[in-house]
Copies of this chain bind each other. A is one copy, B any other.
Amino acid sequence: MASEITELPHPARSDMQLTEVLFALSDPERLAIVRQLADGPMEMAQCHLSDPSMPKSTKSHLMKVLREAGVIRNEALGRGRRLSLRQDDLEARFPGLLGSVLSASTEV
């Protein structure tokens, strides 16, 4: 019998807070995750951190901060989890913000 896969809570677009989004984006590892997801949704297992020595619990926490701020969706998909960037919601709520962060971070 498959273990239960939890559906995690996500903030509604209108509940996203600018400072929480900025905070979520302010960490190099979290920003690296966002950049990977800018190319399209991916399986959690395929999403890699810059520092491969980081424990799985750290990766989970990074995902949690991004999800709770409204930056990413983390949804059950089969036995795994599918991560996606909430680009439309972010653009509607904070126009231009994600684009400027992604453009800037490619140069860093």
User: Is there an interface contact between B96 and A18, defined as CB atoms closer than 8 Å?
Assistant: no
User: Is there an interface contact between A96 and B105, defined as CB atoms closer than 8 Å?
Assistant: no
User: Is there an interface contact between A96 and B99, defined as CB atoms closer than 8 Å?
Assistant: yes
Instruction: Report the minimum CB–CB distance from A13 to chain B (whole Å).
Output: 13
Q: Which residues of B contact A100 (CB under 8 A)?
A: 94-97, 99-100
**What is the oligomeric copy number?**
2
Once A93-B104, A100-B97, A104-B93 are accepted as A-B contacts, the answer to whether A26 and B31 lie under 8 Å apart by CB is no
Give the residue name and chain of the B residue nearest to A97 (CB).
Answer: B100
Q: How far is the CA of A83 from the CA of B94 in the complex (A)?
A: 26
Instruction: Report the minimum CB–CB distance from A106 to chain B (whole Å).
Output: 10
Tell whether A108 is near chain B: CB-to-CB under 8 Å.
Answer: yes
